[in-house]
């Protein structure tokens, strides 16, 4: 992995992820499937200028979808839950 912006694809915003931010200071991101925990940690620290305490990753299976007779599948993806140091915050989640 070369660029930090290639590793972190998008933040995941849901009710559960917002409650994790308030309770544990843990943020959730959609990341590149080939990225490991060390690369994810460095990318988050580089992009948002925060210090990361812990990174948990999960490989998420894509859901099956149908359109009439035709059946397909959404792509598999990887989710990372990043716990930040006490006092650190990421601003993109603040307005939500």
CA angle 23, 42, 30 (to 5 degrees): 60
**31-82 tens-digit pLDDT:** 999 999 999 999 999 999 999 999 999 999 999 999 999 999 999 999 999 9
Could you tell me the CA-to-CA distances from 15 to 35, 45, 79, 82, 90 in Å, in that order? 26, 24, 16, 16, 17
The CATH code belonging to domain 4-87 is 3.30.70.330
Q: What is the mean pLDDT of residues 25-36?
A: 96
Q: Where do the domains of the chain lie?
A: 4-87
**69-85 tens-digit pLDDT:** 999 999 999 999 999 99
């Amino acid at each position: 992995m070369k660029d930090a912006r290639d590793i972190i694809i998008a933040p995941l915003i849901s009710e559960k992820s917002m409650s994790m931010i308030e309770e544990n200071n843990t943020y959730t991101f959609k990341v590149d499937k080939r990225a490991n925990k060390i690369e994810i940690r460095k990318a988050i620290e580089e992009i948002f200028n925060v210090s990361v305490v812990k990174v948990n990753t999960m490989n998420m299976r894509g859901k099956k979808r149908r359109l009439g007779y035709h059946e397909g599948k959404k792509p598999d993806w990887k989710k990372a839950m990043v716990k930040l140091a006490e006092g650190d915050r990421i601003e993109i989640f603040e307005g939500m």
